[in-house]
């Protein structure tokens, strides 16, 4: 499998199909990430296109594994923050995100999972915005702490602290709502 960084380099060398591959790979998830800031899917789609446009227009020296995704999300984040500041719209609401169930799961299991997810997103909504964003990038976007740090303009240690504190706060919120843990 070709890395994102190689695809980006191929695009810069004139291979348009490489750009299509990157947009296809990240377009939907990036749109959802931006929509978390804007709460307007159409504006999020526009900013997703703008983020790719900026990245493709400026020949950035993106070399390290994972750098393309981190740079793309950082660009999108900056665009969303500027747009949000201009339009004063709230940050991420996880309870409005939907996920398609796997076709091979039982209906009851999926119902329990979707209820659990709904409650988790509701609890995450109560977190401080910086905790919520760090958890989202690390656990939903599967970014490394280094890449999440690049997106949020923080150090890896700060991201580590945000994730730790976010998980602790989330645990407290869930415990207050009556959740218990299987390992206890």
pLDDT in tens, 65-87: 778 888 899 999 999 988 877 76
SS3 116: helix
Measured distance CA(27)–CA(55) in Å, rounded:
13
* CA nearest to 135, candidates 110, 157, 102, 161: 161
Mean pLDDT of the region 152-157: 92
Measured distance CA(144)–CA(50) in Å, rounded:
24
Instruction: Give percent of the chain above pLDDT 90.
Output: 24
pLDDT for residue 89: 36
Instruction: Check pLDDT > 90 for residue 45.
Output: yes
Instruction: Check pLDDT > 80 for residue 150.
Output: yes
Looking at per-residue pLDDT, the higher value among 103 and 59 belongs to 59
Model confidence at 161, in pLDDT bands (50, 70, 90)?
very high
Computed over every residue of the chain, the mean pLDDT equals: 80
Token look-up 């991201």 returns: 159
């Amino acid at each position: 499998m070709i890395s994102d960084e190689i695809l980006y380099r191929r695009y810069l060398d004139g291979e348009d199909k490489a750009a299509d591959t990157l947009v296809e790979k990240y377009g939907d998830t990036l749109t959802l990430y931006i929509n978390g800031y804007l709460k307007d899917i159409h504006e999020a789609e526009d900013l997703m296109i703008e983020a790719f446009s900026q990245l493709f227009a400026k020949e950035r020296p993106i070399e390290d594994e994972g750098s393309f995704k981190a740079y793309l999300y950082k660009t999108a984040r900056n665009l969303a923050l500027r747009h949000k500041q201009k339009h004063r719209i709230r940050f991420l609401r996880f309870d409005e995100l939907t996920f398609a169930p796997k076709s091979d799961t039982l209906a009851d299991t999926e119902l329990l999972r979707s209820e659990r997810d709904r409650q988790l997103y509701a609890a995450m909504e109560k977190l401080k915005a910086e905790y919520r964003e760090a958890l989202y990038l690390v656990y939903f976007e599967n970014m490394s702490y280094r890449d999440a740090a690049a997106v949020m303009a923080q150090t890896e240690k700060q991201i580590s602290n945000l994730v730790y504190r976010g998980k602790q706060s989330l645990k407290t919120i869930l415990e207050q709502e009556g959740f218990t843990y299987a390992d206890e």
